[in-house]
Amino acid sequence: MKPFEGKLALVTGASRGIGAAVAETLAGAGAHVILVARSTAKLEEVEERIHLGGGSATIAPLDLTEGESVGKLAAAVSERWGKLDLLILNAAMLGSLTPVEHIDPKEYGRILSINLLANQALIAAFDPLLRGSDKAEVVAVTSSVGREARAFWGAYGSSKAALEALLGAYADETAYTGKLRVTILDPGATRTRMRALAFPGEEPEQVKPPEVVAARLLELLQDGGETGRRVRVD
């Protein structure tokens, strides 16, 4: 019996990088995974790899910042499955690395929409389905700059700091249920497209692949850690 046999997981930003690796790892552990991202073609590639590996998945192409899209997705999941066991909040936007006084308001608004507001909308929409699970897990992917300020990372870092505060509050609010756990996951330096954009001179082989983060997350989902914890993958 695979550890997540019969479980339903939803992973955002699942078309590549950490999201794709997490989705494939969860599917390999027996979960049926709902793959969420904007690119249908890339989601289909991840879905195909999952199917070739003997797993199961459903793609849900959408822009998380578009109006009622999150609510419609939650309604569709509720109608088909009636619950959600694992919610992995991974989708994020880096934006420009620039001094605070030079941050473009429109770009900053989109960063906050994707990195913060969309995650609150997902929690709001899926909270009833998570509470319908025997044991639900919510994992939000953060960054070290959300806790330790760094020059030129003000826009992205502030969005992650706010995300951590949001998830910490949600963990505190749901702790009484005893069956919904929140984990804030800092993947550390990882070989992703976002990392390449932020550090263009870095050799990709110098940092760990996304599969290492996915494997660590799988371990965390099976341990007895407390809700609201923040874990870094070094």
Q: State how far the Cα of 1 lies from the Cα of 11, in Å rounded to an integer.
A: 22
Sign of the four-CA dihedral 147, 149, 150, 153: positive
SS3 23: helix
Selected catalytic residue, list 108, 156, 170, 176: 156
Q: Are the C-beta atoms of residues 89 and 125 closer than 8 Å to each other?
A: no
The HSE-up count of residue 200 (CA atoms within 13 Å, CB side) is 2
Active site residue 156: yes
Task: Give the β-pairing of 180-186 and 32-37.
Answer: unpaired
DSSP state of 208: B
What residues are labeled active site? Answer: 156
